[in-house]
Amino acid sequence: MELNLLTFLYLIASITFIVGLKMLSHPATARNGNRVAAIGMTLAILGTIFLYEEDGARLGNYVWIFGGILIGTITGTLAAKRVKMTAMPEMVSLFNGMGGACAALISLVEFDHLAHMDPMMAGVLLMSAGGASAVKGFLLIIVLGLIIGSVSFAGSIIAWGKLNGSIKDFSFKGQHIFNILLLAVIVVLAVYLIVFLPANAVLIFYTIFFLSLLYGIFFVFPIGGADMPVVISLLNSFTGVAAACGGFLYDNKVMLTGGILVGAAGTLLTILMCKAMNRSLTNVLIGSFGGSSVGVSSAGAVGTHKEISLSDTAVLMSYASKVYIVPGYGLAVAQAQHACHELEKLLTSKGVDVKYAIHPVAGRMPGHMNVLLAEADVSYEKLLEMEQANEEFSTTDVVLILGANDVVNPAAKSDPASPIYGMPILDVELAKHVIVNKRSMKPGYAGIENELFFRPKTSMLFGDAKKVLQDLVAEIKNL
């Protein structure tokens, strides 16, 4: 009866995961989607703690279990409440890394159980249905969880460091070949361990563990520029697959379902990000884009920029028919999303058609700008994806760019030597007027100059995005 109840709870939890994931597809329901999935996870955890039995014995160790849950809950709550929106990408990377670490630890613990199994029990297992094949299958799942979880953990920690600026892009000549060879060695050792079950299996297993951590580090090290959202998405899918391996090991349906959902969603998002960046998924896997060209100036990005005053900007936007706002990382740094929404509402009240052009990889993680604007209660209907926005720019009077750089850089189309060449961009230069708000002329995240800033239609409006927008709102009200 208790087993049936636990199975029922797992089924309910799995359904909440699917429903929650579906609700995350729209900003209006995303918050409740998180709550629904969290309720399901809570049911699964409590059900496992109090209802799971093995050989007639319950889990026990409730002090240790709930002690760990309490520490994790307090730590997670404080971190989530204190984190700034600008730091959200690195927090996502850090939490994702913890998920990968958990999956790797599961594999380490289960391999230790397997390696130190009582000889009599091992003999019974080998004589049972499946025999050696069953042992090898079990070992396969352990090794897969170890490799994928370790790569996800190490890679996510490097991504976290790069996003917060404590770790710089690093590469060396022949690193792509080194990465491929390192991965090949890991695969060969894993196959040898699983197929032959050698006497030195423990040494080989921990060698695989160490090399997987090393691969995770060198996999992410060279990646930079505007490519980081792709990496975060890919590492997220790795963690999901590693968690699914844990579900296989423990025959835990809800863990398996959750892992598959995360893995599948992360993989699909990675593919979409690669398409948005015009990059090959194969290149992502061997870490061969983004970092090597950082710091290279875009050819042709020379000339003199012109500035525009707040009063001229206010007049230009107030008497426009259609205005597009392009949010970028500068908006997030200044925490200017609420001021931006206030400007949008003010212009709309004056009869101006205001919308937002969202590039898929604007910011530091997938959906970063959508999250920021949703926090300010910007209507989802006003957020246009890149393809839609590009069709509208030719009939747009003013485009206001707030801290975005690489996603509007024409070098992606015109300069084959540029590290962002081939990346689809927002065609803002098709508009009648382009106003760029930046703190300075410093290059963006990819480290290259933006020739858009020197184009005849472009004017620079320097200053902190939040203050500039607040002053702009005041200026428009005084017209």
For the annotated catalytic residues, the residue numbers are 406
User: 3-state secondary structure string, 464-479?
Assistant: CHHHHHHHHHHHHHCC
Burial class (CB in 10 A: 0-12, 13-18, 19+), 421: middle
Alpha helix segments (H runs only) across 119-252: 119-127, 131-163, 175-196, 201-220, 228-250
Q: Rounded to an integer, what distance in angstroms lies between the CA atom of residue 258 and that of residue 45?
A: 13
Q: Rounded to an integer, what distance in angstroms lies between the CA atom of residue 325 and that of residue 122?
A: 65
β-sheet bridge partners, residue 398? 323, 433
Q: Which residues of 342-374 are buried (b: 16+ CB within 10 A; e: fewer)?
A: bbbebbeeeebbbbbbbbbbbbbbbbbbbbbbb
- Both tokens of residue 134? 């069953």
CA 284 from centroid of its chain's CA atoms: 14
- Given the structure tokens 């597009």, which residue do they identify? 324
- Both tokens of residue 315? 């007049």
Q: Rounded to an integer, what distance in angstroms lies between the CA atom of residue 206 and that of residue 190?
A: 11
β-sheet bridge partners, residue 58? 53
Q: Using the 8-state DSSP alphabet, how is residue 321 labeled?
A: S
Q: Is 217 left (phi over 0), alpha (psi -120 to 50) or beta?
A: alpha
- Given the structure tokens 């520029």, which residue do they identify? 225
- Of 303, 296, 297, nearest to 455 by C-alpha is 303
Q: Using the 8-state DSSP alphabet, how is residue 307 labeled?
A: B
- Of 190, 204, 108, nearest to 149 by C-alpha is 108
Q: Phi, psi (5° rounding) for residue 420? A: -105, 10
CA 194 from centroid of its chain's CA atoms: 32
Q: Rounded to an integer, what distance in angstroms lies between the CA atom of residue 25 and that of residue 412?
A: 29
For residue 8, give the amino acid letter: F
Name the CA radius of gyration of the chain, rounded. 26
How many residues in total does the chain contain?
Answer: 479
Q: Using the 8-state DSSP alphabet, how is residue 382 labeled?
A: G
